[in-house]
Amino acid sequence: MLTSNPFAALSASISPAAMQTYVVIMIVLVAAGTLFDVVHKGSARYFFDNWRKSKRKGSKQVGGGELVSIAIQTGVVDVLASGEFCNPRRRIAHLLTMYGFLLYVVSTVVMVFDYSTASIWPQLWWLGGLMVCVGGYWFWFFIRVDVAAEGNSPFRVMRADLFILSLLASVTLGLIWAFLQSQGGSGTGVFFGLYLIATTVLFGSVPWSKFAHMFFKPAAAFEKRVSCANETRSNLPAPADKPEAFGSARQQPRHY
Residues of the domain holding 76: 6-230
> Who's near 140: CB < 8 A, 6+ residues apart?
147, 154, 164, 165, 168
Q: Is residue 82 part of a domain?
A: yes
Q: Is residue 104 part of a domain?
A: yes
Cα 125 to chain centroid, rounded? 16
Q: Is residue 81 part of a domain?
A: yes
> Who's near 134: CB < 8 A, 6+ residues apart?
96, 100
Domains: count for the chain: 1
Task: Write the DSSP symbol of residue 208.
Answer: G
Compute the distance between CA of residue 160 and CA of residue 40 in angstroms, rounded to an integer. 17
- Phi and psi at 14, nearest 5°, equal -125, 130
Q: What stretches in the chain show pLDDT beneath 50?
A: 243-256
Q: Is residue 224 part of a domain?
A: yes
Strands annotated E in the chain: none
Per-residue model confidence (pLDDT) at position 129: 97
Q: Is residue 176 part of a domain?
A: yes
Q: Is residue 31 part of a domain?
A: yes
User: What is the pTM assigned to this prediction?
Assistant: 0.76
Strands annotated E in 81-226: none
The predicted-structure confidence for 136-146, as pLDDT tens digits, reads as follows 999 988 887 66
| Closest to 196 in 3D by CA, of 127, 133, 112, 138 | 112
Q: Which helix (H) or strand (E) holds 106?
A: helix 88-113
Per-residue model confidence (pLDDT) at position 248: 37
Q: Is residue 87 part of a domain?
A: yes
